[in-house]
Amino acid sequence: MSLDEIGATLRELWISYNQIEKLDGLNPCVKLEVLYISNNKIANWGEVQKLSSLNAIKSVLLVGNPIYDECS
């Protein structure tokens, strides 16, 4: 199953601990409100900026990513 198939109804996505470096492919998730992506490999703000196209997003958890460590 891909995000293309479920993106229109998906409200929460929990993808922590998956070695993710890029936030590509989330565009189908038009109703996404919560994204838990802790303990991955997101290292630059350009990746986080990709979430700006998700108008329903309310909560993003980036703890444990290199980008989070820069802020603490």
Residue 69: predicted pLDDT: 75
Domain ranges of the chain: 3-71
What are the structure tokens assigned to 23, written together? 């936030």
Residue 1: predicted pLDDT: 58
- What Cα–Cα distance (Å) separates residue 21 from each residue in 25, 27, 35, 50? 12, 17, 15, 13
Q: 40: number of CA atoms within 13 Å, CB side?
A: 21
Q: Along the 72 residues of the chain, how does pLDDT read in single tens digits?
A: 578 889 999 999 999 999 999 999 999 999 999 999 999 999 999 999 999 999 999 999 999 999 987 675
Class of domain 3-71: alpha beta
Q: How far apart are CA 72 and CA 65, in angstroms?
A: 11
